[in-house]
Amino acid sequence: MIKLFVCDIDYTLLDAYAGGLPSQNIDAMIRLQESGVKVVLASGRIESGILPIMKQVKMDQFGGYLASSNGTRIIETLSGDPLLENLIPVEDLLEMYHYAIKLGLHFSVEQGDTVYTNGFDDELAYDRDVVKLNFNVCDDLSDHLKQSAPKCAVTVDHGQKREEIKAFCDTFKDRFEIVNSMGGFIDIMRRGSSKGHAIQFLCSHLNIAHDEVAAIGDSTNDLEMLALAGISACVANARDEVKAIAKHHVASAQEGGVAEFIEIVLSLNKRPVV
């Protein structure tokens, strides 16, 4: 019996460049919640970038969970109360910012309701134009980094500065969780933060087993949660590494693959318990 449905957003639940959130995915998510299954939206997006989608699929009415910034912060959607936070201290943000500058990389981090960055590229343009985040581009971020943050990121135009990205990751990989959420977008979180850790926390919080969890995704930051879930799926546009471990392969994000997976889950839940 599936009790928790965990869904990635970008290029899984929706493809913003190919029509946005498919109506069949919205309808299926609502029917899933009406059946009693709780939904978790697990994304590399910061929390403010998930809220509009949460409302589209009626999670503000049914109750569910948002695991933003790759599981760094988890909130309950009815109350908005945080259940988990694992924030990067300011001194660590400053250290990573200065090293990113040295390598010629763009560094970005959320401070309040604004994302500060020292430069713009195609990857950040997605967050500005699609996710609708508020950006402040400035030459020196030092005076703006005053708050701990769920995550920070280094970005470049897709395919550029690969050696510099590798050098950054190699320098900090033993101290932080580092994932490539999409394209040239590298997310950095504190140790113990990931979508997989978010599933483990929620299973403990809700007293449910991993085999009562279904999860669907498309990218490498979804691998851990897919491996932990009792039933997993990937959309047709998923990376090869994800396709290799997902138990079910469904249609693309654009074609409503999430709705297809939800039908599988609903059918499984209708089977009599032996």
98 lies in the same domain as 50: no
What pLDDT, in 10s, does the model give residues 93-134?
A: 999 999 999 999 999 999 998 999 999 888 888 889 888 999
Confidence of residue 205 (pLDDT cuts 50, 70, 90): very high
Confidence of residue 176 (pLDDT cuts 50, 70, 90): very high
167 lies in the same domain as 116: yes
Is pLDDT of 194 > 90? yes
Lowest mean pLDDT among 172-181, 239-248, 255-264: 172-181
CA distance 121 to 48: 21
CATH label of the domain that carries residue 198: 3.40.50.1000
The domain boundary, picked from 140, 158, 190, lies at 190
Is pLDDT of 203 > 90? yes
Is pLDDT of 243 > 60? yes
198 lies in the same domain as 78: yes
115 lies in the same domain as 185: yes
The domain boundary, picked from 132, 165, 190, lies at 190
For residue 274, the model assigns a pLDDT of 55
Question: Which range of residues forms the domain containing residue 232?
Answer: 4-85+193-270
174 lies in the same domain as 206: no
Is pLDDT of 250 > 90? yes
52 lies in the same domain as 71: yes
What pLDDT, in 10s, does the model give residues 163-175?
A: 999 999 999 999 9
- Give the whole-number percent of the chain exceeding pLDDT 70: 97
Q: How many domains does the chain have?
A: 2
Confidence of residue 273 (pLDDT cuts 50, 70, 90): low
Question: CB 118: neighbour CB atoms within 10 A?
Answer: 16
Is 178:187 a contact under the CB 8 Å cutoff?
yes
For residue 258, the model assigns a pLDDT of 98
CA distance 126 to 64: 26
185 lies in the same domain as 257: no
CA distance 70 to 100: 21
pTM of this prediction exceeds 0.85: yes
80 lies in the same domain as 198: yes
181 lies in the same domain as 198: no
CATH label of the domain that carries residue 128: 3.30.1240.10
Average confidence (pLDDT) over 80-102: 96
224 lies in the same domain as 263: yes
The domain boundary, picked from 151, 174, 190, lies at 190
For residue 90, the model assigns a pLDDT of 97
Within 13 Å, how many C-alpha atoms sit on residue 138's CB side?
13
- Give the whole-number percent of the chain exceeding pLDDT 90: 85
130 lies in the same domain as 78: no
**74 alpha-carbon distance from chain centroid:** 11
Average confidence (pLDDT) over 43-68: 96
186 lies in the same domain as 130: yes
Nearest to 35 by CA among 264, 270, 216: 270
Provide the 3-class DSSP secondary structure of residue 270: helix
